[in-house]
Amino acid sequence: MEFPSPVSVGWLAELVGAELVGNTAAHAKGINEIHKVEEGDIVFVDHPKYYDKCIHSAASVIIINTLTDFPEGKTLLIHDQPFEAYLKIVKHFRPFNPGTNSISDSAVIGEGTFVFPNSYIAHDVTIGRHCLIYPNVTIMDHCVIGDNVIIQPGTVIGSDAFYYNSKKDREVWYKKMQSCGRVIIENEVEIGANCTIDRGVSHDTIIGQGTKIDNLVHIGHDTVIGKNCLLAAQVGIAGAVTLGNGVVLWGQVGVSKTLTVGDNAVIYAQSGVPASLKGDKIYFGSPVEEAKDKMKELVWVKRIPELWKKVMGA
């Protein structure tokens, strides 16, 4: 999430009640979780396992629960509960704002766009020109929809990320990381019925220009779908995934988190993707392999009874 304008680290320290160490004259431009952090951002870390990764990331300001070595020019905000400090910042810039109208007064809707009855358009949503938003569509706060976009009935754009801070030493193990990111849907995208596209935890979920999405598809937080992709029904994509341009996922493909699928890859139906894949190839299976190799394997599997008889007969 980018702040409306940069804020001083001194003000941040006062807001969350943290000790300020390092570059005390710095300003932060936004807040992000580690997978999407950029220069000028704040990030939090509360486990020694991840100290080094966060401190040496692009982040300029690190909320941390102990003083440790850090590169020159960076700022530490030392707080005994970094996650709670993170939440306080998020809630300050993205406070709960209940919607009382079916279309918020702060929403901007372009010329030629038609919103059917029973849809809900939340605060600070921007919708481009010549779009069709069918009945019972929900578009949550701060989402951005391009031109010539079609969203079929029952779809939810901008639902909260499935993302939790976990600690086994407290009564409630999983505590929600409040989502403050957006969904950005580019021009000429079509989204089927009853799809769910989660907003970024603190950054953007992006659906690239010309991509077509079938019914009952789920896309997780901070995922970036390239241009002109094709996603068939019941595809499920976890958080922080990157699909290149022209990727095709056929029905019921499942894609695990924080991986990349290269341009023009095709993945056949009911496949499971546990790791990154190169582009310009066809894949099948769970876990996926190149389809030509998987098909050969299946042929040999079918011959096992025949081969077994030969072995026993020998």
At 121-133, the pLDDT tens digits run 999 999 999 999 9
pLDDT of residue 28: 96
pLDDT tens digits, 209-257: 999 999 999 999 999 999 999 999 999 999 999 999 999 999 999 999 9
The residue type found at 280 is D
Longest dimension (CA), the chain: 83
Once rounded to an integer, what is the mean pLDDT over residues 35-58?
A: 92
Catalytic positions, written as ranges:
221
Q: Which CATH architecture has domain 2-93?
A: 3-Layer(aba) Sandwich (3.40)
How much is the pTM? 0.92
Res 75 pLDDT > 90: yes
- DSSP element (H, E) containing 191: strand 190-191
pLDDT of residue 309: 81
**Distance separating alpha carbons of residues 39 and 100, to the nearest angstrom:** 37
Laid out side by side, the sheet with 75-78 consists of 2-8, 27-31, 41-45, 61-64, 75-78, 19-22
pLDDT tens digits, 167-180: 888 899 999 999 99
Q: Work out the pLDDT band at 34, boundaries 50, 70, 90.
A: confident
Mean residue pLDDT across the chain: 95
CATH 2.160.10.10 fits domain 108-294: yes
pLDDT of residue 314: 57
- 261 within 8 A of 255, measured Cβ to Cβ: yes
Structure tokens at 215: 């019914």
Q: Where are the chain's structural domains?
A: 2-93, 108-294
Once rounded to an integer, what is the mean pLDDT over residues 40-53?
A: 92
Once rounded to an integer, what is the mean pLDDT over residues 192-207?
A: 97
SS3 296: helix
pLDDT of residue 303: 82
